[in-house]
A and B are shown apart, each in its own frame.
Chain A
Amino acid sequence: MRAASALILAVMLVIACPTLSAAKRYDATPKLLKQGKKLYSQYCTECHGENGDGQGKSAKALGLVCRDFTAAVFEFRTTPSGYLPTDDDLYRTLTKGIRLSMEPAKNMRPFKDLSSKKRWALLHYIKTFSPRWDDPDEHAEPITIPEPPPATRDAIERGKELWQKVQCWHCHGPEGRGDGPSAPSLKDYDGHPIAPADLSNPELLQGGAQPTDIYRTFTTGLNGTPMPSYGDSLDDHQRWDLVYFVLTFGLGEEGVLDRYGQ
């Protein structure tokens, strides 16, 4: 009976401890960095390389272009174009992973199974690969993402006009399949060929497929890729209109209205 009581207490602790620590942020202490190095070796080196240069063995074997942490150019951010991501941005990417391909071995796996402390340890260790993180001029305040307005037929129609006007089709193709006339010649900042997103498959939208995710991408752009920021050239309403039109490639107009309409 005493053993059973102890186990019930243990159960309560198991539930309580991570819940209390879930939202906690961890600073980059030497001990945490040491833990981060160990975790990096365990989970990341095969793709990102021991030195963080994106030249891991599996990257080569699978023909992948993996993030070069020594360059510290990150696509998925809430910061304006050209700036480093926030810690929360990196934490979100670590938690959700990145869906690059329908072949699972080519994707970055989500680390949601690791404790938040371990994810913070990894995050801080990744930042040790580039001196950019030490330069205050490389950092900027994150943008604010407003509450999405409801999707309407008019918004989708306006988005369609913007799609033509801004020439999104030039890279993403008329049907959003990533097969526009410019697609074959696109390159990333390091000269590697890069494919535009296939908007008809929401599963492969690397920055996330929610309206707020796509709005964020339009606003900040994707650093190191040809995808520019429209934060200055399109106003807030126009970006939401474009978000809902882009979503129709994967969900259809009725699907967008069903899911995001009023």
Chain B
Amino acid sequence: MKRLILVPLMAALALPLSVVLTPDNAEAIPAFARQVKQKCTYCHVAFPKLNEFGITFKNNGYRLQGTKGTDVWEIPAWPVAALAEIELEWNDYDKDARGEDSLTIVQPEVEVFWGTTLGPHISTFGEIVVERGEGADLGPVFVQYNDLVGEAQLNLRAGAYDVDFQFLSAARSIIFSSYAAEELGFFGTAVGLEANGQILPEDEGLTVRYAAGYTVDNDAYNGSQSDLSDSVYGTVELTFMEQSIGAHYQHHAGDSADIDRWSIAAEFHALDAILTLAYFDVTMDGPSGGDDLDGDDILVELLYPVNDFVFGARWDKLGDDGFTGAGDFEQWTLHGSWYARPNLQLGAELRLQDFDESSSGANDDDEAVKGRLIARFGF
């Protein structure tokens, strides 16, 4: 009953608020921009993808450089923001001898999130996702103690958080479609403890970012991979004048099978475009001493922001040697977004999935086409 009241109430609030708060000035844009009184493009390449300055701000515990952090009650703007998404989706699905066409309005979704310092050296981030018909879910929620060494050179984080690259993040992707590597368990939210930090150059030079942590088995966050065991992981990223490279390794030690994941990624900024390359690999011990189960994915993504538009294309090639059981597939995504306001993204997207060979031995030329029209706005 609560849900029945809550969801329409939030939707009813969201629409007028978005109109009122759609920014015609710097103050009227989400949480962080309100705090620093700057446009959202100060921190974002295009919402929600962060630029280097935004990544530095985020890793600094949602603080501009050179401050220890303010008590939350002294922050001039409320450190809470929301993101709403409405989607019209068309599917033409033809796999495993099943043919399905559908045209749906996906249930509206509202994410309420906060990111702020709680006081000197302490920061927090959290997210609640409210979906019509699904109720409310907790997204990442964590507390971080900053500055154990230098300014954010060593921080300690506890809670639920995303394990991903700073420059290659599923949560901050401009393209709506999920990365194929998510099928292999990358980009997940984990519950655990993490030591992280960033070492920034005095002037020009190399920025080093790292994270190392321990995650625990947690069904609420592992979702479809609810049998995941505890893990240790480490990520290192190097950035020099907007060009970034990173490497990530994660080891799940299970009672019955160990899982090893590693990935390497790079992001180039050149000629006003952003090119992202990544390779993901996962190996799981085979059942009863049999062959290992493997999966890998190659990702190439090109984004081209021009004026109020962002055009993008992504190619994923997922190889599945028994890890997911879904078989190999190749995926093309074409994307176009118009930022009617800096915090209002109106996007169209077409995704083509071409399945090579499914585990059930279906036809070689199975494919799925998905078209989407999405409105996403933050306030």
Contact = CB atoms under 8 A, between A and B. Distances in A.
Contact of A112 (B41, B201, B245): B201
B66 A104 contact: yes
A137 interface: no
Given A46-B37, A46-B39, A18 B203 contact: no
B37 A107 contact: no
B37 A96 contact: no
Contacts of A42: 39, 41-42
Interface string B191-204: 00000000001011
A18 B36 contact: no
A interface residue count range (under 10 / 10 to 19 / 20 to 34 / 35 or more):
35 or more
Interface stretch (B264-272, B351-359, B369-377): B264-272
A35 B272 contact: yes
B266 A7 contact: yes
Interface stretch (B79-87, B100-108, B173-181, B236-244): B236-244
Interface in A13-44: 13-15, 17-19, 22, 35, 42-43
Interface residues of B, number: 44
B65 interface: yes
A235 interface: no
Contact of A58 (B37, B51, B65, B270): B37
Interface in A84-137: 95-96, 99, 102-105, 107, 109-110, 112-116
Contact of A114 (B205, B242, B268, B298): B242
Nearest to B297: A3
Interface string B292-336: 000010100000000000000000000000000000000000000
Contacts of A58: 26, 37-38
Nearest to A111: B53
Interface in B271-298: 272, 277-279, 296, 298
A99 to B, nearest CB: 7
A113 B26 contact: no
Closest CB pairs A-B (n = 8): A104-B64, A113-B52, A58-B37, A18-B241, A14-B243, A42-B41, A10-B266, A115-B241
Interface of A: 3-4, 6-7, 10-11, 13-15, 17-19, 22, 35, 42-43, 45-46, 57-58, 61-62, 95-96, 99, 102-105, 107, 109-110, 112-116, 203
Given A7-B279, A114-B242, 20 more contacts: A3-B279, A7-B278, A10-B245, A10-B268, A11-B264, A17-B243, A17-B268, A18-B241, A18-B243, A19-B240, A43-B41, A45-B39, A46-B39, A57-B25, A58-B26, A103-B67, A112-B205, A115-B241, A115-B269, A203-B66
13 contacts: A7-B265, A10-B245, A11-B264, A14-B243, A17-B243, A17-B268, A18-B242, A43-B41, A46-B37, A57-B25, A58-B37, A61-B37, A115-B241
